[in-house]
Structure 1
Amino acid sequence: MSDLYRLALALRSAEDSALSILVHERSLSLSEFKDFFDLAQAVLTPKSQALLISSLSNSEISSLRSLLAQEKVSKEQVSFLASDLLVWSSQEPVVYDWLAERLRENPRTASLRVVTEPIKAPDQESIDRDCGIHAFEAMQSITELIFSLDQHFVREVSKGSMGLPDVKRLSSHLGKSKEYVKAILELAKVSGMVAISEKRFHPTDLADNWISSDPKTRWHILVDAWIAIVGASGSKELALQLSQNPTKSLNELVGSSFPLVNSSAQSRIGRVAELADAIGLSVKGFAASWLASVLAGKVAVAIKALEQRLPAQQERIIVQADLSIIAPGPLASSIEIELRKFTDTENIGLATGYRISPLSISCGLEEGLTEK
């Protein structure tokens, strides 16, 4: 049975969440394919194969080689391999021919790395404090992204990418780099809050849930998206590396966990450390104290630890004579939603600025607001 036929059958029986991650990782669009055979053909291209090879963890490489040598592999690891479409199925764990050939071509299990002087890590309290701010900024940025996509026509310029003018506009609005905007967009896409249809980015029903959710729920969504990018097997590998080398940077841990990783812009594993920094799991590569809990699947424990580092919610706003409004800290979701109905967001940060204008008042009246 050919790899193409096997993979098409595996794709047909795969869960929607697995297909979503696959399509995102390979920069594909489901609308381009007539059936699962077309999709399987795209997944088996050399470029797509290279992206998959670079995302293999140590444990996955070891398990695949054990299967090729007809040695015993645990049921848990076989299920991980099947969910990542590395073997045909968990009931019949046959390694695809193309993957077997690539593993034989590349027998190495560790990448060559440049040896540098170790960077002294800040104290853990400072790391956690900064991670709390990063988490808050990520949640705030996702919210702004959702409102922006709802108000503007943002076109997909290439496979899953946003045009440079739109990236620059969001970068200026958020006060963040263009790379940060791309990272936030990726997390929003993986979590299902942003989708693409008819070559346009738009918020989904899940985005509506995000807007009405509290910070704990929002951060949980971001963490789930990050874990989906890392993968179940990769999470276990990273957790092991972190427990053995707690002083190493996240980039080093990723390099040790995924020996075939490359720095390609399309490599999902190559962006793991950057995305972790964006959502408050690390800062400048140094792990937050709750990263171990996240990797172990104990997200509730991580949320409890993060909560203490998030900026406190404010119940009051400052209305100024020039028709500007300042929120000195994060507002409750209900207050923020109401405020946005008749104001424009002026600047984003720990203290967010809003402005009342004739246009914003008109929009508020259209929303059903009155002078009361």
Structure 2
Amino acid sequence: MSELRHLVEALRGLSDAALRSLVATRLISVSTVEDFYALAESLNHPKSFAAQIGSLSKKQLDTIAQISKGEKVSAANAAGLLELQLIYRVDSGFKVFENLLDQLKQHKTFTRALTVINLDEVHANQSEIDRDAGLVAFETMQALTEIIFDLEKHLIREVGKSGVGLPDVKRLGAALAKPNDFAKRMFSLASRLGLMTIENSRHRLTPPAVQWLSMDQQERISLLVENFKALLGSELCSNLNGLTPGSSLKNWLTAHFPLAENTSSSRIGQILDFAESFGLTFDHFTTSWFTDALANRKSLASHLQKHLPTVQKRIILQADLSIIAPGPLPTKLEVSLRRFATTETISLASTYRLSALSICHGLETGLKIDEIRDFLKTTSAAKLPQPVEYLLNEVTARFGRLVVTEVADNTERSLITSPDNLLLTEIGNDPRLRAFSLSRPSPEQLTCRFESSVVYFGLRECGYLAIRRDQSGAVISPVEAAEAVAGKTAASSLDSDLARIRAADAAMSAGGNDEAITRQVQLAIRNKARLLITATIADGSSATFDLMPNGIANGRLRGLDRKAQIERTLPLSTITAITLA
């Protein structure tokens, strides 16, 4: 039986949960994978093994070396390698995939001793590590929260492959008072945590993002820790439980993963980056709560709480429409404030600003003007400045005067309506909106060929107080719209990809499909694998042939019959079943 066949059979026997873990750990994208044969080919590719080598521990490398020499190894030592599909079972025990062995030989793994250098550790001050790590965890949570609100209020397009444009990165960096590299890393982290997704070449919120807003600090930390543990895996998580506070995680990983490349895209690099961003290490030194987090101990909350900034419930409301929070706000209070205020700077002491657009956004999410007024009075413990009252009254008068709706038309997809003819004239002549190619079929209407969400964000970016309404006339909340899109996107993610792969594999196994047969033959030719083919012969009976295929053309398969040692040609129409030998 060929290595590819072993791998296909192993993949077929895995549960969906095991497959999800496998493709995540081996960094395989299944969005374009057609069936288990294609997935096996991706996993068995030299580049896939090369990417995995750096994540192999010294113990795993020793186990692979023993198997390659024909030595017996325990099932416990082989279990992790089997889960990663780096070895496979045979009657005599286990075997290593040839492509993996080739990659290891290129690293000279089996031609020299893998000595571990005793790295001299610098003993840092533990209290300083804990203090700084707590601040980093706080900054990460603030950045992720800011990204969620940013996605609510701005249209962020996909740039490159799942990337974010420089203007969006700069906007986030300015709000956080951080460099662009930090902002870019936070966008990547938000995507990795499932807080944002891509739909129609745009970044959108997901249901976990909405849940994030309702969590307190401890719940958010727990979510970050769970994602860190998922990246580690159960075996590595167990091994790291023995680390003492103040140990260098980087040195430990260097010692236990001798072939690891410490780059940002490597698994080791991601582990170090996650640990640093989540407040589990600082400068790669472990905190007092590092092992508490890995072991799910209740003491994690009490240890970490001492080093997170203390929340306070008061804000300072100023006549220039700015709001100052002298310290971190409680989650519920901050979420309420962010519904109708935009951020200027986010830090231990944050600054927000009221504007017509921000108040309009609050009304769109379901708030009432009186609720906003009462909130500001209660949290500031003072009478509202007169400019704030003027702003609230102005937005009350203007809200709902500029409406964007979706229309089912062959050429136009959005309809902009307003009783203010001068406002529509201003919009139609605005050079910033020239790309929308707005048409004016009537004095109170504008039409556009773009979808309503694009038009809505475009108008708001230019300062117009636009809102969206559905066909029934109800205001569409930006949060509810995000949840609806996210729910639709989630249905087409990894689970549906795995279901599609299983369905295609079942159809291929059934045979009789020329396209499926052609794919398997091409796969066998590329991998120099044999095929077991069941075909109908001249007398109407079925016969099985062991072929080494060498070509397929004009509806016929040519190959060497391994048993008869002759060249055989079979019409595809006569083949009833085909599988790798």
TM norm structure 1: 0.84
| 1:97 Cα offset (Å) | 3.4
Match of 1:212 among 214, 217, 227: 214
Hey, what does 1:61 align to over in structure 2? 61
Match of 2:159 among 149, 157, 160: 157
Hey, what does 2:269 align to over in structure 1? 270
Matched to 1:330, the amino acid is P
| 1:58 Cα offset (Å) | 2.3
What SS is found at the alignment partner of 1:331?
A: coil
| 1:138 Cα offset (Å) | 1.0
Check the 8 A contact 1:58/1:237 in 2, yes or no.
no
What SS is found at the alignment partner of 2:56?
A: coil
Q: 1:43 to 1:273 in 2, by over 3 A?
A: same
Q: 1:54 to 1:304 in 2, by over 3 A?
A: same
Q: How does 1:197-276 map to 2 (within 5 A)?
A: 197-240=199-242, 242-243=243-244, 248-276=247-275
Check the 8 A contact 2:46/2:103 in 1, yes or no.
no
Paired with 1:63 and 1:269, the residues of 2 have a C-alpha distance of 20
Matched to 2:138, the amino acid is F
Check the 8 A contact 1:249/1:286 in 2, yes or no.
yes
Matched to 1:360, the amino acid is S
Hey, what does 2:497 align to over in structure 1? none
String of CA shifts for 1:83-133, please: whole Å, max 9, x gaps. 4343458xx8654332244345523564787x99x6744321111111111
Hey, what does 1:71 align to over in structure 2? 72
Structure 1 segments unaligned to the other structure (5+ residues): none
String of CA shifts for 1:244-294, please: whole Å, max 9, x gaps. xx6552221221121111133421212322221111111112211111223
Paired with 1:212 and 1:194, the residues of 2 have a C-alpha distance of 16
Check the 8 A contact 1:134/1:278 in 2, yes or no.
yes
String of CA shifts for 1:49-90, please: whole Å, max 9, x gaps. 221111112232233334444423253x5443344343458x
String of CA shifts for 1:207-246, please: whole Å, max 9, x gaps. 1111101111111111111222222222234344x34xx6
Paired with 2:175 and 2:17, the residues of 1 have a C-alpha distance of 34
Q: Does 1:40 align with 2:24?
A: no
Q: How does 1:254-333 map to 2 (within 5 A)?
A: 254-295=253-294, 297-333=295-331
TM norm structure 2: 0.56
Matched to 1:42, the amino acid is S
Q: 1:65 to 1:349 in 2, by over 3 A?
A: same
Paired with 1:369 and 1:102, the residues of 2 have a C-alpha distance of 60
Match of 1:353 among 351, 354, 358: 351
Check the 8 A contact 2:26/2:84 in 1, yes or no.
no
Hey, what does 2:426 align to over in structure 1? none
Paired with 1:162 and 1:301, the residues of 2 have a C-alpha distance of 38
Higher relative contact order (CA 8 A, sep 6+): 1
Hey, what does 2:333 align to over in structure 1? 335
Judge which range, 310-319 or 179-188, deviates more: 179-188
Matched to 1:147, the amino acid is F
| 1:8 Cα offset (Å) | 4.3
What SS is found at the alignment partner of 1:350?
A: coil
String of CA shifts for 1:129-172, please: whole Å, max 9, x gaps. 11111111111111112222333333343444434443333233
What SS is found at the alignment partner of 1:364?
A: helix
Structure 2 segments unaligned to the other structure (5+ residues): 371-581
Paired with 1:293 and 1:269, the residues of 2 have a C-alpha distance of 21
Hey, what does 2:187 align to over in structure 1? 185
Paired with 1:9 and 1:195, the residues of 2 have a C-alpha distance of 32
Structure (1/2) with the larger helix percentage: 1
Check the 8 A contact 1:312/1:329 in 2, yes or no.
yes
Judge which range, 258-267 or 187-196, deviates more: 187-196
Q: 1:101 to 1:336 in 2, by over 3 A?
A: same
Paired with 2:8 and 2:164, the residues of 1 have a C-alpha distance of 30
Q: 1:216 to 1:366 in 2, by over 3 A?
A: same
Paired with 1:87 and 1:229, the residues of 2 have a C-alpha distance of 21
Q: 1:304 to 1:36 in 2, by over 3 A?
A: farther
| 1:336 Cα offset (Å) | 1.7
Structure (1/2) with the larger strand percentage: 2
Q: 1:248 to 1:128 in 2, by over 3 A?
A: closer
Q: Equivalent pairs: percent with the same residue?
A: 37
| 1:349 Cα offset (Å) | 0.7
Check the 8 A contact 2:250/2:284 in 1, yes or no.
yes
Paired with 1:10 and 1:179, the residues of 2 have a C-alpha distance of 41
Paired with 1:157 and 1:7, the residues of 2 have a C-alpha distance of 36
Paired with 2:315 and 2:203, the residues of 1 have a C-alpha distance of 32
Check the 8 A contact 2:198/2:204 in 1, yes or no.
yes
Larger Rg: 2
| 1:178 Cα offset (Å) | 3.6
What SS is found at the alignment partner of 2:128?
A: helix
What SS is found at the alignment partner of 1:72?
A: coil
Q: 1:198 to 1:88 in 2, by over 3 A?
A: farther
Q: How does 1:128-147 map to 2 (within 5 A)?
A: 128-147=130-149
Hey, what does 1:365 align to over in structure 2? 363
| 1:16 Cα offset (Å) | 4.4
CA RMSD of aligned residues (A): 3.1
Paired with 2:208 and 2:133, the residues of 1 have a C-alpha distance of 25
Q: Does 1:172 align with 2:174?
A: yes
Matched to 2:286, the amino acid is A
Paired with 1:161 and 1:23, the residues of 2 have a C-alpha distance of 19
What SS is found at the alignment partner of 1:208?
A: helix
Paired with 2:128 and 2:100, the residues of 1 have a C-alpha distance of 44
Hey, what does 2:23 align to over in structure 1? 22
Check the 8 A contact 1:173/1:347 in 2, yes or no.
yes
What SS is found at the alignment partner of 2:198?
A: strand
